[in-house]
Amino acid sequence: MTPNLFTPLQLGGVLTPNRIYLAPLTRCRAQPGNIPDDLNAEYYRQRASGGLLIAEATTVSPRGYGYPNTPGIYNDAHIAGWRKVTSAVHAAGGRIFLQLWHVGRISHPIFQPQGALPVAPSAIKPKGQLFTGTEMADYVTPRALELSEIPAIIAEYAHGAQAAKSAGFDGVELHNANGYLLDQFLRDGTNHRTDSYGGNVENRARLTLDVTKAVVDVWGSDRVGIRLSPGGVFNDMHDSNPLHTFGYLLEKLSALNLAFAHITRISAQDLAHGATDGVGPRELRPHYTGRVITNGGFTLETANQALSEGWADAVAFGVPFLANPDLPKRLQLGAPLNEADPSTFYTSGPKGYTDYPSLEA
């Protein structure tokens, strides 16, 4: 039988009742101390009918922040805050993974302990600006990590994975996309190292694989996924041969028997900023033997087409799920969708967060 969005899927160690997943969405609504609270719990509870919720990017280190009011997962207060979220989702019958994150160079001294420089594989300043919480500021030139510091980075991811387990999550997704630290190491546009973590693709993929293995040691392979954006140019990213780079990585990841690879497709925004089409989940599917989640502007029809053609096993929805807490029900009934309000995506409080109406409302 040809699967569709409403067909159950065994995703590693988790049985998902449908294939409509919540994409990880930064919403900048953590409380002081980068701690989730009851408002965050309500937001995720409302969306628990998704086959899987992938919670927003969550920092594994005090050095890993690059945006205001984003959550952490490295201390007891973070664990207690996230436990409110997982308890609410589980009480509503849902399943939830946490996305583990370190922004690397996409930061600023204002976010760093003691005002230090952000860290990266190489001292290459990204183009553009970031919001500090009060104003826009240019990115700075990051500090290249010393080889001796890399084991501590791997340990931070492992610690975050353990903290996520203590908080009651069903698994974790490694954020290896969108120009953040692991993606910076992987691509040759941002990694100019000459040691064992730079140069050829085998070396540039080394940190991703080291971190993945460390997190698998905590969770088991069937509770770990990874997110990749092979064609993306967000955060000033590029690679001279992305099909080779990501094909190699996916072949190595296949051997680890992960729960899934979450591979985004090229967006219209990427194309507008100079991305080249032709490197995404469809093209990379032959390199990966496990489950593939995809994401990026899908409709009910195009999502079902991706499943029927076999280059994806599930589809994660971002903005539609943000604006429609009961998205699976609406899609199944063919009901109209709420329109999202972009002006509230990264603000504070319940407006544009927990006040989108369900069909029943």
pLDDT over threshold 80, residue 342: yes
pLDDT in tens, 122-137: 999 999 999 998 999 9
pLDDT over threshold 80, residue 268: no
Residue 320: its pLDDT value, please? 98
The dihedral over CA atoms of 177, 205, 123, 152, expressed in degrees to the nearest 10, equals: 90
Question: Nearest-5° angle of CA 224, CA 226, CA 232?
Answer: 170
Mean predicted confidence (pLDDT) in 92-109: 98
pLDDT in tens, 54-83: 999 999 999 999 999 999 999 999 999 999
pLDDT over threshold 80, residue 194: yes
Alpha-carbon span 55 to 38, nearest angstrom? 15
pLDDT over threshold 80, residue 113: yes
Question: Nearest-5° angle of CA 86, CA 89, CA 95?
Answer: 85
Residue 162: pLDDT band (50, 70, 90) is very high
Residue 189: its pLDDT value, please? 97
Mean predicted confidence (pLDDT) in 180-205: 98
pLDDT in tens, 206-255: 999 999 999 999 999 999 999 999 998 899 999 999 999 999 999 999 99
Whole-model pTM: value is 0.97
Residue 266: its pLDDT value, please? 87
Alpha-carbon span 321 to 56, nearest angstrom? 13
Residue 72: its pLDDT value, please? 98
Q: Quick check: 264 and 228 in contact, CB under 8 A?
A: yes
DSSP 207-267: HHHHHHHHHHHHH-GGGEEEEE-TT--TTT---S-HHHHHHHHHHHHHTTT-SEEEEEPPP
Centroid of chain to Cα 1? 31
Residue 275: pLDDT band (50, 70, 90) is confident
pLDDT over threshold 90, residue 1: no
Half-sphere exposure of 180 (CA within 13 A, CB side): 23
Residue 278: pLDDT band (50, 70, 90) is confident
Domain 10-19+32-295 = CATH 3.60.15.10? no
Residue ranges per domain, the chain? 10-19+32-295
At 221, list the tokens. Answer: 């392979």
Alpha-carbon span 73 to 117, nearest angstrom? 21
Alpha-carbon span 271 to 277, nearest angstrom? 7
Number of DSSP helices (H) and strands (E) in the chain, helices first = 12, 14
Residue 272: its pLDDT value, please? 78
Catalytic residues: 180
pLDDT in tens, 24-53: 999 999 999 999 999 999 999 999 999 999
Alpha-carbon span 258 to 220, nearest angstrom? 9
List phi, psi (to 5°) of 152.
Answer: -70, -35
pLDDT over threshold 90, residue 273: no
